[in-house]
Chains A and B, each alone.
Chain A
Amino acid sequence: MTDRKIVVPGELLTDQRKKLGEHVFVDEGMVYADSLGLAEQDSDGVRVIPLQGRYMPQAEDLIVGIIAREEFSGYIVDINSFYYSFVRKDNLRKPLEKGTVISAKITSVNEINEAELDQIRVFYDGEVLDVSPVKVPRIIGKKGSMLEVLTKGTGSSIMAGRNGRVWIKDGNTALLKKAIKKIEDEAHLSNLTVRITEFIEREKKQALKAK
């Protein structure tokens, strides 16, 4: 049984030896939380899911970036992290314009958190939403379950980047924005997918009634 509770930095999680997850640290054999978050603990592991915080680039992350400027051999991309990243022109088929939305995979991150990008995909039209980076996993859901609910419910195309940017296009974007706001607000609660499904249905019914 996993035990969940809200913790503040420096709060004691356990005095037993357990597998350490993210956002915990060990001091004199005790395990403490290092940020404000939701502590999850079971018989063998302990971790803290943060409720706030900036995006820390990590290898294998899929991110949504925006072209900031062009240089001779490539483009400078704003990835909502500490630094801009660089995309070489020979990885691209067509030249890009400033402000173009792209998605990319981070191949590696160095010791000062600069990220290298690969697998560039370009997105046309649509809009980009800014969300809290720590809440993106909830927007994606377990194996993409939440994304499925959102795309089916609103008929939009969605690309959720781990860096806190969500690209959306077509469909009922107003409802989608409402749903994403709700996910962000209630990210620390369980059974969220079920609740969002209900929420989208309810909103749709209300919209029908208003007509």
Chain B
Amino acid sequence: MAEEMTYVNSDGLRLDGRKVDELREIKITPSVLSRAEGSCYMEWGQNKVLVGVYGPREALPQHIQDPTKALVSFIYRMATFSVSERKNPRPGRREIEISKVCGEALEAAIFLERFPNTTIDIYTHIFDSNAGTRVTALAAAAVALADAGIPMKDMVSSCAVGRAGGNIVLDLNKYEEDAPDAVDMPMAIMPRKKEVVLLQMDGLMEKKQWFEAFNLGVQGCMSVYEMQKDALKKRYLEIEKDAMQEIEKAGAKMDKAAKEGEPQ
């Protein structure tokens, strides 16, 4: 690799043509699995994630039940073909950690005390990855939970922010994550109060730079939130539109019948 790589060129564009505060393209499709209570398929740049939510259902074995609240079991798994070199399918240290932190982030948002002795199972599977899969999984899981009709205080929106080649950039891709001075900071907030529910950081940063990155991250999360909202509402608005067209058609038919009836 060249000694000095420029991560942000003189036009303010990054390696993949994005601006410093631009997210990758995000596509969210809720309700894709018929057997799950709620589900979501999400594409975030090259990342592809499928999430299924099951429950709240009786927690078993009985000794794990908590009579005061529901348990959240978040399971994050990467497919063997999701990375360039085959990944061992056995859950490793990294996957167990991500499952824990993402589950805890969602616990903050769900009204757990309404479902005593139950568990809410969230299964997230990564099919393709290019940095930032944990935030993708978390954002998709929040959509799937809302799709399952589970009562929540707020949605959970997430995105990553970091540094590459001395520049603070939003939503790092793999090249930027591998920069010699890279800092990667995945974060998730509950957008209503901008309450932080997940914050991790790889690398070292100055305090001033950290605050700059954090504020950019909050901005990124807010735009993810808008996309999550739109995706959830879109399906119902489309049905409404179709039904309206049907009514108009029926109305036009009736008008026509009335007109034909007039001469008689």
- CB-based nearest B residue for A23: B151
B132 within 8 A of A: no
- CB-based nearest B residue for A114: B117
B22 within 8 A of A: no
Q: Are the C-beta atoms of A113 and B116 separated by less than 8 Å?
A: yes
Expressed in whole angstroms, the Cα–Cα distance for A53 and B146 within the complex equals 9
B111 within 8 A of A: yes
- Which candidate, B8-16, B82-90, B174-182, B239-247, is the interface stretch facing chain A? B239-247
B58 within 8 A of A: yes
Minimum CB–CB distance from B261 to chain A (whole Å) comes to 19
Q: Are the C-beta atoms of A6 and B237 separated by less than 8 Å?
A: yes
Kindly count the residue-residue contacts between A and B in the assembled complex, taking CB atoms under 8 Å apart: 88
Expressed in whole angstroms, the Cα–Cα distance for A79 and B258 within the complex equals 50
Inter-chain contacts of A98 with B (CB < 8 A): none
**Residue of A10, A82, A188, A189 contacting most chain B CB atoms (<10 Å):** A10
B196 within 8 A of A: no
Minimum CB–CB distance from A49 to chain B (whole Å) comes to 11
Q: Are the C-beta atoms of A82 and B57 separated by less than 8 Å?
A: yes
Inter-chain contacts of B154 with A (CB < 8 A): 9-10, 32
- CB-based nearest A residue for B234: A6
A123 within 8 A of B: no
Minimum CB–CB distance from A38 to chain B (whole Å) comes to 8
Q: Are the C-beta atoms of A34 and B152 separated by less than 8 Å?
A: yes
Inter-chain contacts of A178 with B (CB < 8 A): none
A59 within 8 A of B: no
B220 within 8 A of A: no
Q: Are the C-beta atoms of A51 and B149 separated by less than 8 Å?
A: yes
**Residue of A52, A53, A195 contacting most chain B CB atoms (<10 Å):** A52
Main secondary structure of the interface of A (DSSP, over half): loop
With A82-B58, A82-B117, A195-B243 already in contact, the answer to whether A53 and B111 are too (CB < 8 A) is: no
With A52-B149, A54-B149, A82-B56 already in contact, the answer to whether A36 and B115 are too (CB < 8 A) is: no
Inter-chain contacts of B116 with A (CB < 8 A): 111-113
A129 within 8 A of B: no
- Which candidate, B96-104, B159-167, B198-206, B225-233, is the interface stretch facing chain A? B225-233
Inter-chain contacts of B67 with A (CB < 8 A): 112
B38 within 8 A of A: yes
Q: Are the C-beta atoms of A134 and B149 separated by less than 8 Å?
A: yes
From B58, B190, B236, B250, contact of A198 by CB (8 A): B250
With A8-B155, A82-B57 already in contact, the answer to whether A32 and B192 are too (CB < 8 A) is: yes
Expressed in whole angstroms, the Cα–Cα distance for A25 and B110 within the complex equals 13
Expressed in whole angstroms, the Cα–Cα distance for A12 and B37 within the complex equals 25
Minimum CB–CB distance from B120 to chain A (whole Å) comes to 10
Q: Are the C-beta atoms of A52 and B228 separated by less than 8 Å?
A: no
With A8-B232, A8-B233, A82-B58 already in contact, the answer to whether A34 and B191 are too (CB < 8 A) is: no
Q: Are the C-beta atoms of A34 and B153 separated by less than 8 Å?
A: yes
Inter-chain contacts of B243 with A (CB < 8 A): 186, 189, 195
Inter-chain contacts of B146 with A (CB < 8 A): 8-9, 35-36
Inter-chain contacts of B58 with A (CB < 8 A): 82-83
- CB-based nearest B residue for A9: B152
With A52-B147, A54-B37, A185-B239 already in contact, the answer to whether A36 and B232 are too (CB < 8 A) is: yes
Q: List 17 A-B contacts (CB under 8 A).
A: A9-B109, A9-B152, A9-B154, A11-B229, A25-B111, A34-B111, A34-B152, A35-B149, A35-B150, A36-B147, A37-B149, A82-B115, A82-B117, A134-B149, A188-B239, A188-B240, A189-B243
Give the B-binding residues of A (Cβ under 8 A). 6, 8-12, 23, 25, 27, 32, 34-37, 50-54, 82-83, 111-113, 134, 185-186, 188-189, 195, 198
Q: A8-B155, A9-B153, A32-B154 are in contact. List 6 more A-B contacts (CB 8 A).
A: A10-B109, A11-B229, A32-B192, A52-B37, A52-B149, A82-B115
